[in-house]
Amino acid sequence: MVICSSREAFLVGLQSSMQADNLNGNTVDSTPPEASIHPLLIPTIHQLAASSTITIAFTPSLLRLRAYLACYAPARDSEPTSNTSARRGSQSAMLVIYGLLKLHRNTTEYSVQGLSRSLAIAVEAANTWRMRLTLVEPLEDTQLPAPEPIMETGAVSPPDPWSEQVPLLNSSLAPTNGSTWAGRTVEVGTVVARWCSISRP
């Protein structure tokens, strides 16, 4: 699992998300303390077993993300073998990238060119090791700071990141004060759909 953020920023966002889940899922009164514990914090046998099979890497910049994926090699015990090739499908190993779009946003490479470059490297890594590539984007309220900011602070991400418009090529400038990209733009979902299937919640 590749998390496109620093470890500290991810933990802050995860804590905020779990607190929001507890507030939305629990009633105000007569809720025992044990019932307010988030499921992720309960050390069940299943979670303990699953955690031993997950490798996590934090890549807070595009340079680190691409370098990690270009040199990616799974742990030896997770490499596909001829004995497990017949059991592929739902049990296949996964290469999960969390926050890829958000990592590109507010940078000069938030474009068809920049996204395609990162996606091509990710697809090649997953294909090399016969893994299923899965892209996951954080919710709108998750606060993961983007690197290389070039847009004014206070910009709010739209609810659906796949519907955002991006230019064809990288640029040293970005729209500010609600302006739009100059020239032809393409929907992010159209770019990603060339490489992956998009499943909207």
Span 2-34, pLDDT tens digits: 999 999 999 998 888 888 776 665 544 445 555
* Residue 176 to residue 142: CA distance in whole angstroms: 22
Token pair 């100059």 is found at 182
pTM of the entire predicted model: 0.76
Which residue would you say has higher pLDDT here, 144 or 19? 19
**pLDDT of amino acid 180:** 63
**pLDDT of amino acid 182:** 66
* Average model confidence (pLDDT) across the chain: 78
CA distances from 187 to 14, 32, 92 (A): 28, 47, 30
**pLDDT of amino acid 140:** 61
Long-range contact pairs involving 104-108 (C-beta distance under 8 Å, separation at least 24): 104/62, 105/146, 105/157, 105/161, 105/164, 106/146, 106/148, 106/149, 106/150, 106/151, 106/155, 106/174, 107/62, 107/146, 107/147, 107/148, 107/149, 107/150, 108/148, 108/150, 108/170, 108/171, 108/172, 108/174
**Percent of the chain scoring above 70 in pLDDT:** 68
Range with lowest mean pLDDT among 9-13, 43-47, 65-69? 43-47
